[in-house]
Amino acid sequence: MNKPPLLISACLAGIRCRYNGSSVPFPLLEALEQAYSLVAVCPEQLGGLITPRSASERVNGRILTKEGEDVTHFFEAGAQEALCIALNHHCTTALLMERSPSCGVGFIYDGTFSSTLTEGNGVFAALLISHSFTLYTPTSAGLLL
Ligand code: SF4
């Protein structure tokens, strides 16, 4: 029987694509792989950003690096590219990394680069929501299994 597709933030799938070159492997990744056909995407890399890269946060609707460079275009382009991949694989559900300016769902860092959270979604998460995706984070991923 074909497994249903599940979109997943690439860093949760063990790919070292975070801004600092690390990954955050999801602890139940093996169980997910048994239940789903995983489609791993990193919208920031797909937008053309290199790894490692400067930390970025959402500030007044734009995405700025810690040094103040506006990288919104990279985030938006990568989100669109990742959405195309998701749609090509018939994904309607995603497991996304928490707090990220791209993948964060419900809460993201507040733009002060002080590890302070605020309500909001990352650029990619917001795009998926506008396309009626159902989103999970590692905190809520138990509902997927
Ligand atoms: Fe992970 Fe998403 Fe950030 Fe890529 S953009 S490193 S997939 S949280």
The verdict on the CB of residue 101 being under 6 Å from ligand 1 is no
The verdict on the CB of residue 71 being under 6 Å from ligand 1 is no
Helix boundaries (H) for 37-122: 43-46, 72-88
Digit-by-digit pLDDT tens for the chain (145 residues) are 799 999 999 999 999 999 999 999 999 999 999 999 999 999 999 999 999 999 999 999 999 999 999 999 999 999 999 999 999 999 999 999 999 999 999 999 999 999 999 999 999 999 999 999 999 999 999 999 9
Q: Cβ of 135: how many Cβ atoms within 10 Å?
A: 17
The verdict on the CB of residue 17 being under 6 Å from ligand 1 is yes
Of residues 23, 29, 14, the one with CA closest to residue 144: 29
The verdict on the CB of residue 125 being under 6 Å from ligand 1 is no
Buried b (16+ CB within 10 A) or exposed e, 60-81: eeebbbeeeeebbebbbbbbeb
Q: How far is the CA of 34 from the centre of ligand 1 (A)?
A: 23
Whole-prediction pTM: 0.97
